Amino acid sequence: MTAQDFMWLSLGLAALIIAIALAFLCARMGKVLDRTQETMGRVERMLDSIAQPVTATLDHVGGVAGNVDTMVSRVNRVTETIEKATTGVARAADAAQAAVSPAVANVVGVVAGVSKGAQAFFRSRQNNGYSRDRDES
């Protein structure tokens, strides 16, 4: 065997070893891809089984949100009605105060005048016509 034959034989043997390694690598890669495909199938089945409860929950949450929106609008209308009623009561109170204030002031003035007159009258009667008011002025 010559050196050239030996070289071709070692090149062939190296190519055969590389081919076997590549075949082994491809077989292992195929198994990994099969397992990945199987795992993805399981994940898809799990997601399919979860999809229905999640959809039902989201529908329920949407219904609850709709009910909350309805309640908020009702509370808003009640608040507006209360504001209008409060405004009406405030206007009525202002009108009543405006109507009653002059009358109360007149009554207070009359009562004060009668009280002052009664004091002056009874003081003067007590002192036989003598009044302090006259002396002070």
> What is the spatial distance between Cα 92 and Cα 99, in angstroms, rounded to a whole number?
10
Residue 133 pLDDT class (50, 70, 90 cuts): low
**Both tokens of residue 121?**
């009258």
More confident residue, 116 or 29: 29
Taking the whole predicted model, whether its pTM rises above 0.75 is answered as no
**Both tokens of residue 39?**
């795992």
**Both tokens of residue 60?**
């329920």
> What is the spatial distance between Cα 75 and Cα 129, in angstroms, rounded to a whole number?
73
SS3 of 47-91: the string is HHHHHHHHHHHHHHHHHHHHHHHHHHHHHHHHHHHHHHHHHHHHH
- Least confident range of 11-20, 69-78, 106-115, 127-136: 127-136
